[in-house]
Amino acid sequence: MFNKRVKIKELLTQEPQGQEVTVMGWVRSFRNSQFIALNDGSTNNNLQIVAELGKFDEQLLKRVTTSASLKVTGAVVPSLGKGQKMDLKATTIEVLGDSDAEKYPLQPKKHSLEFLREIAHLRFRTNTFGSVFRVRHSLAYAIHKFFNDKGFVHMHTPIITASDAEGAGEMFRVTTLPFNNPPRNEDGSINFKEDFFGRATNLTVSGQLEGELGATAYGDIYTFGPTFRAENSNTTRHLAEFWMIEPEMAFYDLEDNMNLAEEFIKYIIQYAMDNNREDLEFLSQRLAEEEKQLPQDKRSEMGLIEKLEFVLKNNFERLTYTEAIDILKESNHNKKKKFQYPVTGWGMDLQSEHERYLVERHFKKPVILSGYPKEIKAFYMRQNDDGKTVAAMDILAPGIGEIVGGSQREERLEKLEARMKEMNIPAEELWWYLDTRRFGTVPHAGFGLGFERMVQFITGMTNIRDVIAFPRTPKSAEF
C-alpha cells in the first residue's frame, strides 16, 4: 500500500526511539544539502529530515526544492539541534512532485496578506492560513456537535429560492433565460414564466423562513449553509458569499434565545481553545506583531488568547436599544464628534463604530442589545406591546461589532399579516410561511450567526477575506 504514512503532528507527540516511519509532505526549506524542513499541513511545526551527506544521489537532492513534495522513510532519532526534539534520519527519499523554486510565488520570507489574497490558491501553505483554516474546521465541527448534543435537527434549506427573507432586495438572480434577448411581457418586463423554475428566483440570503417550517414540526432545528448578498460593499466585514448558522426553536421567547446564543458562542470558543491551542497561540503572536505597527490608541487592550478567555469568563452585558442610544448620545466620543456617523437619537440604525464603542470602550465585554425600533427591523419579528419596538436581539463582539442577529418571531397571524402589508411584502407569495401561523402557531425564536465573522473573532484576523478559502467580493471571483 502506498500510503502508510504518519502525520507530522502525530509524530511530534511521540518519543524518538529509532522507530522507522514514513512521512509525506512539502519542503519548506533545504539547508546545507542536508537538512530538509518538511510540512504536511497537520501542524505549523516542521519535521527536520536529515539527509546524510554522501548517501543520496546529487541529482535527487537538486530536486529537493521549496514546495516540492516528498515521501521519506527513516528512523526517528533525538535531535542534536536546538528547537526540536527529534529528527527523521532518512533512509529513502522519493520526490513525488517537483517544484520550480524560482517561479514558486511563496518565497521563504514574510508576505503581506494583500499579496496572499492574489494567490489564494497557494496561501493555505503559509503558517497563518494553515492555522486559520484548521481553526475554521474545528469551529464547524463544534457547531454541529453543540446542536447535535442538544437534540437539534440539522436542516438543509434551499440555496435557490423565490423568497427574500430579509426584504433587503440585494440578491443574485438565478436564471437560464438568454441575456441578449430574454422573453418579455407586454409591458416590457421579463417574462419569468419562460424561465427554468417558471418564476423569478435568486440565491438565498437566509434559510430562516424555511427553518421556521422545520421548527414548527421538530421543535429545534438549525441550518448551516452558504448565503449570498449582492451588496457592493468593499469592507473588511462584508462578503458576497458567506456561511450562516441559523437555529430556530419552537417554545422559545427572546430571553431563551439570548441564553442559547450566549451558551453557543462560549461553547465554540471553548472548543477551539481546547483543540487548537497551538494554532491560536501562533495567531495571537501574529496579531501582536501586526498591532505593533499601529498607533497606541488603535491597539487592542488584550491579546487574542486573553480576549477569548475574557469572553468565556464574563456574562454578556444585556441592555435595550433605547439604553444604548442614551449611552452613545451622552458619550464624550459623540459630543466631541469623533463618530463618523453622529448619534442623532432614537430610531437610528446603529453603525459598526457605535456597536464597537459599546463593547470595547463602554462595557469592555460582549453586549446583547434588544428591543429595536420596528422600522429598522424585518417583518417577521414579534411586535412588542409598546407598538414601537420588536423583540429583536443583536450580540456585539469586540473588534467586529454585530456577530449575531436574532429575534422572537411574530407568531400571531393577524399581526404578521398587518406588518407585511405595511412593508409591502406580498402575502400570497409567502402563503406557505403563513400556514405555520394558521395550523398550530407557537411562540418561537431564532438567530443567525455569520460564520466568517465568528472565525474572524476567534482567529484575530482583521479582514473577513482572510477567513474564507476563496472570498467572493465585488469584482472578485478569481479562484
CB 162 within 8 A of CB 196: no
pLDDT for residue 166: 59
Packing angle of the helix pair 208-218, 431-438 (nearest 10 deg): 30
- Which 3 state secondary structure label does DSSP give 419? helix
What does each C-alpha distance from 312 to 80, 263, 267, 273, 315 come to in angstroms?
Answer: 41, 10, 9, 10, 8
Q: Hey, how many other C-beta atoms are within 10 angstroms of the C-beta on 363? A: 18
- Which 3 state secondary structure label does DSSP give 204? coil
List, in sequence order, every beta strand (DSSP E) within 229-349: 241-250, 317-320
CB 131 within 8 A of CB 279: yes
Q: Hey, how many other C-beta atoms are within 10 angstroms of the C-beta on 62? A: 10
Measuring CA to CA, which residue among 364, 367, 354 is closest to residue 325?
Answer: 354
Which stretches of the chain drop beneath a pLDDT of 50? Answer: none
pLDDT for residue 81: 78
**Could you give the domains of the chain?**
8-97 (2.40.50.140), 125-170+205-466 (3.30.930.10)
Q: What is the pTM of this model?
A: 0.93
Residue 461 one-letter amino acid: M
pLDDT for residue 1: 67
Q: How far apart are the first and last CA of the chain?
A: 34
Contacts of 104 (CB under 8 A, 6+ apart): 65, 66, 67
What does each C-alpha distance from 326 to 330, 334, 354, 385 come to in angstroms?
Answer: 6, 11, 12, 21
pLDDT for residue 450: 95
Length of the chain: 479
